[in-house]
Structure 1
């Protein structure tokens, strides 16, 4: 019964987080696209695709990284080392957030942006309306192929450089925690409750 309650709470949390991120990101990109030209819209689309690929790399690196190389740094209080150990210990949660939540949300947004860009192209160049289906097909295919290719290349990189990548993410988290005073990586401080199984390799 306790497991079921925890499972439903996790599902509800993932739903609410995904919904919130999707609303914020979709609204933001929609507002930006309405105020930019086609070229800047394409640049924004590329940024969304890059975020998708980048978080996929982080999720894979978290599952491939090991704690051992970072323990000595954490003992010596090297900035970011404690956060890195936390990320590796909670690799399943990190991967779920990076690969599933951020990955799926940015994937959906890039698809919607592609459709909006096609409509803007047709509006700007009415003579291309007869070719709308081809323009739409080619742009969506290009977005899909760039995303898939980027993730494929990123997977190899993430596995080979897992400890270095997750170490950089840990350092970034340390800077954010120092600036905001809020943390999820230290159970002794606000927002620092530990969850999940420890991975010691």
Structure 2
């Protein structure tokens, strides 16, 4: 009987987590999309490319964090927590919730960055063909899409290797950054 109660609690917790991720996904994607659309309509192509680069880099960084948290070992962070090193307790919480951290970093932020970078690339293609009327929109759009995709894929590939080799260092740095931001220490 106790297994059924635990299973129900687990199912309830999963549903709550899925609802939380759904809300975060909607908030983050709509905020970034609104910000990038309103910002891009008023800027030149150079700034649009900088915004695009920022979105791609953010997706890669969050992917690195998600992989590092998923693969890091919790043991050294217990020693750090015993020595009262800032961020060690946060690192332990991140590692104990690696599935949720990975979902947020890799899936929510990473996927949103991929989608938004695609729409920003489309917007840049429109600007290019508007400024240079003799250029074919389809060709420019395909070229920019291919460049965005290849940079993202290569960046994430390099990032995954880096995260696997330096997972404890990355988790330590992220937890120290969160220590500065989060009030619950």
TM over 0.5: yes
Matched, 1:168 2:164: no
**What's the offset of the Cα at 1:124?**
1.7
> Which of 145, 155, 163 does residue 158 from structure 1 map onto?
163
How many angstroms apart in 2 are the aligned matches of 1:74 and 1:11?
30
Corresponding residue of 2:29: 22
TM-score (norm: length of structure 2):
0.92
Corresponding residue of 2:138: 133
Corresponding residue of 1:145: 150
Matched, 1:119 2:126: yes
**Cα deviations by residue, 1:32-74 (Å, 9 ceiling, x for unpaired):** 1112100110111011000001000000000111111111211
What secondary structure is seen at the aligned counterpart in 2 of 1:62? helix
How many angstroms apart in 1 are the aligned matches of 2:130 and 2:143?
18
Consecutive unaligned residues in structure 1, runs of 5 or more: 187-201
Cα 1:25–1:90 shift into 2, 3 Å: same
Matches within 5 A, 1:3-42: 3-42=10-49
**Cα deviations by residue, 1:59-108 (Å, 9 ceiling, x for unpaired):** 00001111111112111211111111111111111101000000111111
Consecutive unaligned residues in structure 2, runs of 5 or more: 1-7
TM-score (norm: length of structure 1):
0.85
**Cα deviations by residue, 1:1-28 (Å, 9 ceiling, x for unpaired):** 4444333322222111101100111111
How many angstroms apart in 2 are the aligned matches of 1:89 and 1:3?
16
> Which of 67, 74, 86 does residue 79 from structure 1 map onto?
86
Higher helix proportion, which one? 2
> Which of 88, 97, 103 does residue 90 from structure 1 map onto?
97
